Amino acid sequence: MKATQLLHNLGQSIWLDNITRDLLTSGTLKRYIEELSVTGLTSNPTIFDHAIKASSAYDAAIRVGLAQGKSAEAIFFDLALEDLTQAADLFRPIYDRTNGVDGWVSLEVSPLLAYDTASTLAAAKELHARAARPNLLIKIPGTQEGLPAIEEAIFSGVPINVTLLFCREHYLAAAEAFLRGIERRIDAGLNPDVGSVASLFISRWDATVAGTVPDGLRAKLGIAIANRAYKAARNLLSSPRWQRVYNVGARPQRLLWASTGTKDPKASDLLYIKALAAPFTVNTMPEGTLNALVDHGELGGIMPADGGDCETVLEQFAKADIDVDALATRLQEEGAKGFTASWNELMEVITSKCAAMQKVN
């Protein structure tokens, strides 16, 4: 049995952290679904930047947008929605079979809106309406400005993938925003079943402290942070407040492990896959990591519900002068800036393609 099937049988959803038109047209994504237990998909500006820059598959659609006088941003969202609605349709049988637990795809609002609550909410509503697919999650960053938009989007019935979370406190804030939106729906007499995942980024922790901590702590920070957040999630999901909303039909917000490709060349390519195996969670994997998992036949144990030795490990990092709270803030800020940089580069790629097409015409 493939390791991907073993992970699926354990109760963790495997999502692909990639989308390209070639993945769709070649049948590769369909094969991943049928053969590798892939049950969902995530995207972000960096992924689309690489996809559009490295392929001519989008050129015809860009040419149409150019002829219609659309801006680079408008053309991008046309391209992204075309890809993601096709992907959503491929995952729709899974969504239907699991009663909406799984089978999701994700589309991110413009990262330029990360610190603009009102514009983020408006964009989330518009994109979800345009997609017209029940299994499309809109990604909103879990920044302080993003949290009110998350609550309002959930209250409005828009399924949300809360992105750019880096620590337990970020996760708890995102979960609180989700829950407030659900409780408001219940108070208003609305259906409380609105899908959501909370995406915690893992590998960037280790990449950031690499070379600044003792060898004995190498590649251990991200996993310790994940275990701390997982313990908090388990406690939260079993709390009386959350159980009250389940009792009237709400669905739990699942914890999603993001940035799970190993960046350390000396570490196992499955470091974060094996360490983060846990039921009722999602692991969204880069394509290379997914294929590496297929080649490995064993997984090991599952994450401890009590956080294991995470606090002991984090104390060791504190002794090595790593301020986890300050670093979490920095990583979230850098993550937002990174997506903005990719977004700007993406806009430049589309603009340059448009300019080249105009010259030919």
Q: Report yes or no: 52 and 58 within 8 Å, Cβ to Cβ.
A: yes
Q: How far apart are CA 327 and CA 337, in angstroms?
A: 15
Give me 131's structure tokens. 């997609």
SS3 27: coil
Residues 6+ apart with CB under 8 A from 155: 181, 184, 185, 188
Residues 6+ apart with CB under 8 A from 274: 268, 299, 300
The dihedral region occupied by 159, where left means phi > 0, alpha psi between -120 and 50, and beta the remainder, is beta
DSSP 185-240: HHHTT------EEEEEE-HHHHHHHTTTS-GGGTT-HHHHHHHHHHHHHHHHHTSH
Give me 182's structure tokens. 């659900």
Catalytic residue among 2, 139, 266, 319: 139
Catalytic residue check, 220: no
Q: Which residue type sits at 124? A: A
Active site residues: 139
